[in-house]
Structure 1
């Protein structure tokens, strides 16, 4: 349903020569439409909705951009609620698609609450960034591509936010290649899904600033992703901000790829346990390439390498 509207992204062999006959590939969703995997889930959801349905969501990041692009493609009317302090660049990007904007006082969490309240009034259909079966199925198409691109995969490293990406890909991979291990990468500064997996139900955790800001935030109490994530994820690796920064640098200077922090998180998980994956075929999912220059440039500069 979405194959005609998304890019079949490359699965690149890593440039670095690794010890122990480690094979490493990079699934480059940073080259996807809108710069991240999010367009897959957005299109999967919107293409199933009536055209006369008014849609609403809340995101100044990849989900908001993806939904705006998808709505332009499907001819839906979309409203995105944004915090009043949203950056001009993000605001400009979203409005460029013709999306209606509501600027709401407070932070992104309050913007999301306002969007949900408007949907609950019956005037809109809320589009969740992860807590939706069709969104999750759209992200799962990455798994189908991987299985066609590589004859064998031993491990797939996937960054974890709300769980739509890891649950979607994991469901597909485990169905068709049950011996493949799904390894979730969690930012130590904002790891609600990892904490929830450890206890088997949604719990709230402290959220600190993280370079992997695309993965930051909590998990809905009724999230459809948690039980699936618990089933398909074989291992979770927590990464510090230093780990993520090192991965960003290495991707830039070794692989010639500048990505967002959420993408580097998956690579950081691999690097932290690299010796464990000798004689194996490993895939790092680079989930996006939409980054803030002022944040990423100092990290990957030669002076800091």
Structure 2
């Protein structure tokens, strides 16, 4: 088993290797939660996530013979980069097996650190089975993403840092996939301040640890479907399950819509780029999954390795949900000046036209009319409603169309 001295030793191993990431008080999120909310910005850690901590601590334990055979790992992305970087620093070869659907940015970054990447399966568990198969033939040292005492000890150094940075800590919220981060952080914090509550957070579509906790034994989900790919795990580890049972006070879940909204909030309000797994802990606080009123709350923002194309989709959907992008449709007389009058009203109300389509060819449309559809950028839902009211006041029959 693992105890506090292992985490303290890991902290010594990581000196000069990892950043001491900030624990920043967020006024915005504190006001939204009704508590003092501090963000532990592991998305700004080397390799873009906390995973370098556990991976490097494991590599530091290898014998000379083990180092010569190299290392192998399975990962949805962040552990991959951590192992690849740790191996590169140690001058040893690494092979990483990743799910076929892993974000391209994570695959490319892992290769850039010098690892040989093998793509296999749909989720982490599929990649894990393939990595174990390769490991048996190469005799490379397998570095588990979460169910390894040295990996857990490395992740636990975050807990020590949080306690040093915020001695008056009341609660900490930590993402859970396989459980390495949560078990390490919980062990570190509970060993020093048992009165601090540790709350684990899973994605609703991949809540293997919560299901296992409720059943009192390890459960294997039939699927793990969530935008938080870094914690899309169907089965927790044996070691992590035992540690979480002992040290984590409760586990809550958040859905994908809540995760996406939190990613957008972090980007817009905190100027932080965060991936799905990195946003779940804050999402649970902002959506009031567990009482935090009046408490000093630390939230582990575990990673920032998100695909740029996925960010754009989250932004677009978030703007629609917030009423800041609307699509209007109206029929108007097809003569000079009609479209100009329509656009003039929008401009007067300070709406910004993103795109517009003028169509006079629809079959059931009178010959003297055209259908106009416009996507408009607005300041809020209320602003969009004022634009619609102003258009109707000028005689345009406007319909809101779903984006």
- Cross-structure match for 1:65: 81
- Cross-structure match for 1:36: 49
Mean Cα deviation higher: 86-95 or 253-262: 86-95
CA–CA distance in structure 2, aligned partners of residues 88 and 264 of structure 1? 20
Deviations 1:60-112 (CA, angstroms, capped at 9, x unpaired): 510111100010111222112345676654433222122233455x4454432
Mean Cα deviation higher: 135-144 or 50-59: 50-59
Return the match for 1:191 from 207, 210, 221: 207
Greater Rg by CA: 2
Return the match for 2:25 from 8, 13, 19: 13
Q: Contact conserved, 2:203 with 2:228, CA < 8 A, in 1?
A: yes
- TM-score if structure 2 supplies the norm length? 0.70
Q: Which has the higher contact order (CA 8 A, sep 6+)?
A: 1
> Structure 1 residues 212, 35: closer, same or farther in 2, change over 3 A?
same
Mean Cα deviation higher: 194-203 or 110-119: 110-119
SS in 1 for 2:291: helix
- Cross-structure match for 2:392: none
Pairing 1:194-273 to 2, within 5 Å after superposition: 194-219=210-235, 223-273=238-288
SS in 1 for 2:38: strand
> Structure 1 residues 87, 189: closer, same or farther in 2, change over 3 A?
closer
Q: Contact conserved, 2:55 with 2:82, CA < 8 A, in 1?
A: yes
Q: Contact conserved, 2:33 with 2:286, CA < 8 A, in 1?
A: no
Mean Cα deviation higher: 203-212 or 24-33: 203-212
> Structure 1 residues 275, 137: closer, same or farther in 2, change over 3 A?
closer
Q: Is it true that 1:135 corresponds to 2:151 in the alignment?
A: yes
> Structure 1 residues 169, 54: closer, same or farther in 2, change over 3 A?
same
SS in 2 for 1:276: coil
TM-superposed CA distance for 1:253, in Å, is 2.1
Return the match for 2:185 from 160, 169, 176: 169
Mean Cα deviation higher: 192-201 or 24-33: 192-201
Q: Contact conserved, 2:97 with 2:117, CA < 8 A, in 1?
A: yes
Return the match for 2:37 from 24, 31, 45: 24
CA–CA distance in structure 1, aligned partners of residues 270 and 204 of structure 2? 25
CA RMSD of aligned residues (A): 2.1
CA–CA distance in structure 2, aligned partners of residues 84 and 187 of structure 1? 20
Gap regions ≥5 residues in structure 1? none
- Cross-structure match for 1:49: 62
Q: Contact conserved, 2:156 with 2:187, CA < 8 A, in 1?
A: yes
- TM-score if structure 1 supplies the norm length? 0.92
- Cross-structure match for 1:92: 108
Gap regions ≥5 residues in structure 2? 1-12, 323-403
CA–CA distance in structure 1, aligned partners of residues 211 and 156 of structure 2? 23
Mean Cα deviation higher: 186-195 or 77-86: 77-86
Deviations 1:182-239 (CA, angstroms, capped at 9, x unpaired): 011111111111111112211112424312111111225x621101001111111111
Q: Contact conserved, 1:60 with 1:91, CA < 8 A, in 2?
A: no
Q: Contact conserved, 2:224 with 2:233, CA < 8 A, in 1?
A: no
